[in-house]
A and B are shown apart, each in its own frame.
Chain A
Amino acid sequence: GENVEQHPSTLSVQEGDSAVIKCTYSDSASNYFPWYKQELGKGPQLIIDIRSNVGEKKDQRIAVTLNKTAKHFSLHITETQPEDSAVYFCAANSNTGNQFYFGTGTSLTVIP
């Protein structure tokens, strides 16, 4: 099955700086890559997703880039704020599209 690796596992940035989280995947048939934010005691919430037919997608301060050749995708958060502090997960779908494989998460801390 698919193997998704995520780095770094922890990340601390000063408020206003940018944060970048990277994921790699193994199955070239994967074509949907969502990113989730998980706050303490809550379930993951989708923040942005990208499909394999585009290389980049942006939503205000959040962007995701996808390199299909290298099989990696990244989350970029600009002008970070304390409320961005959370655990972020990347995921990739299976070749059947019915299953999702998650990275191990990145704990982001934004220091005021």
Chain B
Amino acid sequence: NAGVTQTPKFRILKIGQSMTLQCAQDMNHNYMYWYRQDPGMGLKLIYYSVGAGITDKGEVPNGYNVSRSTTEDFPLRLELAAPSQTSVYFCASSYELIGLGNQPQHFGDGTRLSIL
């Protein structure tokens, strides 16, 4: 009963380094999302995907890239890490069907990223 799995749980990066945050879901959900959560703030949408091969920008996409080659996986890439990207990153998924309206999102437990 895995749900949404995020790896790694914690990571420290140096400025300018790159890394990929992994997200996988085993619920056959078509929609997947990446959010960042800063202290005292709500979640801000970085990118989302409505299906394999389709991605789109959210509120705060600058400095990030995503890909969706399979239904299960939705990795988030930081190419040149900056201190402003220090945050907790959450991946989520949901199963959406046109005409049924939005469905609840299932979240992973997050990746805590520090950039020094």
Q: What residues of B have a CB within 8 angstroms of the CB of A97 in the complex?
A: 96, 101-102
How many chain B residues touch A (Cβ–Cβ < 8 Å)?
A: 27
CB distance from A99 to the nearest CB of B (A): 6
A46 at the interface (CB under 8 A from B): yes
A25 touches B (CB below 8 Å): no
**Binding stretch for chain B, among A14-22, A61-69, A101-109:** A101-109
Q: Is there an interface contact between A44 and B90, defined as CB atoms closer than 8 Å?
A: yes
In-complex Cβ contact of A98 among B40, B43, B48, B101 (8 A) = B48
A32/B101 contact (C-beta < 8 A), A1-B59, A43-B109 known: yes
Query: Which of the listed residues B33, B42, B56 has the most CB atoms from chain A within 10 Å of its own CB?
Result: B42
Bound complex: CA of A42 vs CA of B40, how far in Å? 15
Q: How many A-B residue pairs have CB under 8 A?
A: 67
Within 8 Å CB of A99, what residues of B? Answer: 45, 48, 58-59
Q: Is the CB of A100 within 8 A of B101?
A: no
A103–B41 Cα distance when bound, in Å, is 8
- Whether A4 sits at the interface, judged by CB under 8 Å, is yes
B107 engages A45 (CB within 8 Å): yes
Q: How far is the CB of A21 from chain B (nearest CB, A)?
A: 13
The residue in chain B whose Cβ has the minimal distance to the Cβ of A105 is B42
Smallest CB gap from A1: residue in B? B59
Contact with B along A12-46 (1 / 0, CB 8 A): 00000000000000000001101010000111111
Q: Does B4 have its Cβ within 8 Å of any Cβ on chain A?
A: yes
CA of A49 to CA of B94, assembled, Å: 14
Residues on A facing B (Cβ under 8 Å): 1, 4, 6, 9, 31-32, 34, 36, 41-46, 49, 51, 89, 91, 93, 97-105
